[in-house]
Amino acid sequence: MNREVALELVEKQLTERRYQHTLGVTEAAIELANRYGADVKKAELAAIFHDYAKFRPKDEMRGIIVSQGMTSTLLDFHSELWHAPVGAYLVEKEAGITNTEILDAIRYHTSGRVGMTLLDKVIYLADYIEPGRLFPGVDEVRETAKISLNQAVIEAMRNTIVFLMKKKQAVYPDTFHSYNDLIMKTKEKIE
């Protein structure tokens, strides 16, 4: 699927503000993919579709999570997490994208996962550092992203975990496990 067709499909699903965010994520993903050797076309498509289900009704998302046997604990956590796995499902069903790498990058762009692929990391980080994001710590992660993809993802996850803890919100287990996995792999390379 080419960029124009993908953007046309996605624009119908998003608010104007979220569409602008998507354009920023797409440009950040292309830049990261070029810098770190990921497939640029896959990064572009995953970025374009990453928030495809963001504004679907919660009841629809809940129904898809249940009917598709997605992780049973997902419903116990904030509904903000739901759009990623539901989005991967809907992108396959409605947009006809079947590439597993692209769908997984969409699926895990909010939570991360143990054993994140290069494309997973690119999309996770692009969503975090896109130019429209303005929050404490984002500039530091942007700078780290220029020199180390893994370190930038670790910093982004750490910031997210700390943010949720300060708000006394539950942290999705996949995020903790993903963070730990990246820390352990980075530590192994240093030792």
Write down the pLDDT at residue 189. 66
Neighbours of 158 (CB within 10 A): 15
pLDDT in tens, 40-90: 999 999 999 999 999 999 999 999 999 999 876 889 888 899 999 999 999
Token duo for residue 4: 């124009």
Higher pLDDT, 115 or 186: 115
Mean pLDDT (the chain) is 95
Q: How many CA atoms lie within 13 A of 99 on its CB side?
A: 14
Query: Does the domain at residues 3-190 carry the CATH identifier 1.10.3210.10?
Result: yes
pLDDT digits (tens, 9 = 90+) for 173-187: 999 999 999 999 987
Helices (DSSP H) in 96-172: which residue ranges? 100-107, 118-129, 138-145, 149-166
3-class SS at 141? Answer: helix
pLDDT at 188: 65
pTM of the prediction? 0.95
